[in-house]
Amino acid sequence: MNFIRKIVTSRSKEDQELKSELKKLLNFSPRNLNKYKKAFTHRSVQILDRKGNPVNYERLEFLGDSILGSAIAAYLYKKVPTGSEGYLTQMRSKIVSREHLNELGKDLNLIRFVKSNIDKANVGDNIYGNIFEALVGAIYLDKGYNACQKFIHENVIIPYVDIEKLEGKITSYKGLIIEWCQKQKKKYKFDTYEDSGNESIKHFSVKISIDGEQVAKGRATSKKKAEEQAAKRVYFAFQKQISET
């Protein structure tokens, strides 16, 4: 009995510490702590609930992504009354881009709450954005939509959303380069291939050619990152010409 009592006390202390830290982060006291514990659980932990369903942040991430997009859309609709549908869509995409969400997750230091069987140094940058979205999903289930809107306004809109700066922000160098090449009737080619070498983590390399001439290369842990890296180098190589079109 003493052993069981010690386990319960230990868990209770851990929960109280988590609740205290979340209260500082969220500016309210969580009602259902289990929602947040789930939001910070990586699939590698391989926990199942009583029905045999996986317990991890992925479903909450899906939910939070939709709520975040909705809250940002509502803000932009009111903030920019003259914005067209295309403009509003583009601006929302910039605010909720993976790069931006990863930055948010890092600034809030959400990784400190994560339970994972993978070394945190090896999980990749996207976990920061994933956890941020899962946290939004947990807030929605625990406190409702209004609490989500307030959290998003305080932690996303006020510190990060500057309409003028976002208007000039490039969210996809690859898309920009492709669009420019098409407008200028230039032939382009993204040659992407696996390039891990002796490293344990898989890497990809990409070579970008324009009108048959290789312009830039990139290398990263995913095809998308490698392509963006190379496309960014192409952009800076042709920045003057691109800005004039």
Length of the chain equals 245
Q: Do 44 and 153 fall into the same domain?
A: yes
Q: Do 72 and 137 fall into the same domain?
A: yes
Q: Which of these three, 167, 199, 214, is where a domain ends?
A: 167
191 in a domain, yes or no? yes
Report yes or no on whether pTM surpasses 0.75: no
Q: Do 161 and 182 fall into the same domain?
A: no
Domain residues for the domain of 83 are 28-167
Provide the pLDDT for residue 11. Answer: 57
Q: Do 63 and 160 fall into the same domain?
A: yes
Q: Do 159 and 188 fall into the same domain?
A: no
How many structural domains comprise the chain?
A: 2
CB 139 within 8 A of CB 147: yes
23 in a domain, yes or no? no
Q: Do 142 and 205 fall into the same domain?
A: no
Q: Do 112 and 201 fall into the same domain?
A: no
73 in a domain, yes or no? yes
Q: Do 225 and 120 fall into the same domain?
A: no
Q: Which of these three, 167, 192, 207, is where a domain ends?
A: 167
15 in a domain, yes or no? no
For residue 238, what is the domain's CATH number? 3.30.160.20
Nearest to 63 by CA among 86, 45, 38, 42: 38
10 in a domain, yes or no? no
Provide the pLDDT for residue 245. Answer: 67
12 in a domain, yes or no? no
Q: Which of these three, 112, 135, 167, is where a domain ends?
A: 167
Q: Do 47 and 156 fall into the same domain?
A: yes
Q: Do 40 and 123 fall into the same domain?
A: yes
Q: Do 50 and 144 fall into the same domain?
A: yes
13 in a domain, yes or no? no
For residue 75, what is the domain's CATH number? 1.10.1520.10
DSSP string over 4-65: HHHHHHHHHHHHHHHHHHHHHHHSS--S-HHHHHHHTB-GGG-EE-TTS-EESSHHHHHHHH
Provide the pLDDT for residue 1. Answer: 47
Provide the pLDDT for residue 50. Answer: 86
List per-residue pLDDT tens for the chain, 245 residues long. Answer: 444 444 334 458 888 999 999 999 999 999 999 999 999 999 888 888 888 888 899 999 999 999 999 999 999 999 999 988 888 988 898 899 888 899 999 999 999 999 988 877 677 788 999 999 999 999 999 999 999 999 999 999 999 888 877 877 777 888 889 988 998 999 999 999 888 776 677 889 999 999 999 999 999 888 888 998 999 898 888 888 887 76
Q: Which residues are catalytic?
A: 65, 133
21 in a domain, yes or no? no
CB 171 within 8 A of CB 98: no
Q: Do 136 and 207 fall into the same domain?
A: no
CB 96 within 8 A of CB 69: yes
Which amino acid makes up residue 84? S
